[in-house]
Structure 1
């Protein structure tokens, strides 16, 4: 079946859900997928390299308020045009607004089936708003199939819509384990960040708010240093939260033990994972952003042969096998964070063994080609259902 994938943002935009959508689409038969999205910085060069068709109209909006409805109407008209021009069989909606609403309208007025995607990070967050939960139930209730990116996202769907189990498919993110591989530490990066003879704790993620738990690791660092004096915390990412974190580092006299790497280009990410010893992101729920989703950075680190430490929050029950590929810890319990990180940093044999096990697990469970085949199966379910009605 030929699908039209609608999302407000698409690579080269940063973000786990964007990487998720890209890899599902790029591993789907390229002649059977059309991506409809918005123009972002660097899109022309990016799109030229793709085999699949990408159509971009307009720019992403920072919010979807009622006064933006006319913009959504234009997107809806473009969607209907593409549905008929490209002979689309099913619409895939990567965002609640505008894609989810457009999918609902296309089904209601043009009888086109649609698939709606749910991520842990944005699902429970919508419960804080007055009208969005009602609109979300409308979109979910009328979707032909629902793709949940983790188990906790599936729980969220069932929390909102009754009798929907038969149309939910959990498709966790994959990882390019041929790109993220174990290997020697890159000497240039080790020198750049002054990591010679250091045990490196790494976090990769946007510095938007406290959801990813950078603050917890910084506060844990003095106790970690008592047991592992050569420990260093490397923070890769950028965002408005960086100033707060730098102030905290200075306040705790940790300037010589914390490195801010800033934005790391996509092509350098494998090397950044490679210079670490332990990956840690103590994800937790925040009022501003809700909870973390699946956490693709955990499986990327695993693919690089690194054990991980993550918060018992959001989608990490799917991305971390506790005690096998890493540890899930109480994000409010700093002592637990300290003990797990110290254990991994001090015991080289144990750390490397866990990293090797994690690498094998990723190879067996996280191939993007297999994930794209699951999307094909979702589309076939819809085709069979329409054929019998």
Structure 2
């Protein structure tokens, strides 16, 4: 939306309250945040770990799903009735307001599906609602071909579905001249500490890597429900001092961590609920910073990585294949340099927000 504003368009964002101001301008984008429960001090559905995890906290938070839907519609009709087009992120729960705007004011809307809402709709028997909200939109955008396939399996209208991936800010995420300890080969991984990110398998691969390369260290940046379990695994495998989990950091700090890394790995899996990686934006960030990458061949990751050209794809959950590919890149400087050059080129050509915003503007103008 920031890039779309730069190209002369007026953008308003309506989002739930998570603290701070309720009406402000953020990099040219007009943001309004709405309250969805009273007394306001009990609002717990939005923010923090996200709605999916927050709703597990008790009956009071579950009730807020209903009040959220009501106030989403109320504020949509009140604030967005003069818009030319509505762009919905996460049709459940945000699509209801857009549907009312279409019915009452004739404003068309498009939806962007991130992937997880399809899996959640199946799990909680809400596919009928997803189909209703999405098939009433003028266009559906998915973040990868894998997510598009999930949508087709869920019965969404094939003719309306296009793929536009998430992008990366290539002006911010870029190579920097930072200090690196030449005696340490630093591996970095970033993500929410949940099952589908596959961090357990990366940690279990580390003893095999260290058998051949004692100078390797792994840093995992993130927080989440599996933090204690993963730290216990590090201790059990006697990896203290070799593997470290660092809680979420600022974008500025993350930029420095990317540039300090020799290799980036996203070891995602298909989890026990059938959910997997929608795209893998952290791979794009690492590639933009000039870091060679390894990713599991699941979900939308194959939309980013072309194996052997701009990165390495590995089979999920198999620690031997992961460790052998780490060893390969560790010992082959020429291959690493080739992956870096091609990775940076592909990110700028296909995944910069400047490119992605042009594609969205085209979609907005077509409806």
TM range (shorter): 0.7 to 0.9
Q: How many angstroms apart in 1 are the aligned matches of 2:319 and 2:98?
A: 44
Distance (whole Å) between structure 2 residues aligned to residue 253 and residue 42 of structure 1: 43
**Alignment size in residue pairs:** 347
1:181 maps to what in 2? 174
Matching of residue 197 in structure 1 with residue 183 in structure 2? yes
Question: Equivalents in 2 of 1:197, 1:166: separation in Å?
Answer: 54
Q: 1:211 to 1:27 in 2, by over 3 A?
A: farther
In the aligned structure 2, how far is the partner of 1:347 from the partner of 1:257?
A: 22
TM-score (norm 1): 0.83
Structure 1 residues 1-389: aligned runs within 5 Å:
29=8, 31-41=9-19, 47-58=24-35, 60=46, 62-63=54-55, 65=62, 68-84=65-81, 87-130=82-125, 132-161=126-155, 164-184=157-177, 186-187=178-179, 197-207=183-193, 209-287=194-272, 290-382=275-367
Question: Deviation at 1:83?
Answer: 2.6
- Work out the CA distance in 2 between the residues paired with 1:183 and 1:357: 18
SS of 2:279's partner is coil
- In 2, the alpha carbon distance for the partners of 1:27 and 1:367 equals 14
Instruction: State the alpha-carbon separation in 1 of the partners of residues 192 and 214 from structure 2.
Output: 28
Q: How many angstroms apart in 2 are the aligned matches of 1:176 and 1:212? A: 23
Q: Is the 8 A contact 2:118 2:154 kept in 1?
A: no
Secondary structure (helix, strand or coil) at the match of 1:32 reads coil
Given that 2:143 and 2:163 are in contact with CA atoms closer than 8 Å, whether structure 1 keeps it comes out as yes
- Aligned CA distance change for structure 1 residues 183 and 352 (closer, same or farther; 3 Å): farther
Deviations 1:96-121 (A, max 9, x none): 33311222233234332111111123
Note if contact 2:92-2:117 (Cα within 8 Å) is conserved in structure 1: no
Larger RCO, structure (CA 8 Å, separation 6 or more)? 1
Question: Which ranges of structure 2 fall in alignment gaps of 5 or more residues?
Answer: 36-42, 56-60
Change (3 A) 1:311 1:23: farther
Alpha carbons of 1:351 and 1:71: their partners in 2 closer, same or farther (altered >3 Å)?
closer
Runs of 5+ consecutive residues of structure 1 not aligned to the other structure: 1-21, 383-389
Inter-partner Cα distance in structure 1 for 2:161 and 2:206:
41
Question: What SS class does the counterpart of residue 137 from structure 1 fall into?
Answer: helix
Question: Measured at CA, do residues 257 and 116 of structure 1 come closer, stay the same or move farther in structure 2, by a change above 3 Å?
Answer: same
Shift of 1:124: 2.6
Residues 221, 23 of structure 1: CA spacing in aligned structure 2 closer, same or farther, 3 A cutoff? farther
1:240-294: CA deviation from partner (whole Å, max 9, x where unpaired): 3111111101101110211222221112111110111110111012236821211
Normalised to the residue count of structure 2, the TM-score between the two structures is: 0.87
* Per-residue deviation, 1:91: 1.3
Local SS of the residue matching 2:80: helix
Whole-Å separation in 2 of the counterparts to 1:111 and 1:65: 32
Q: Distance in 2 between matches of 1:264 and 1:83?
A: 34
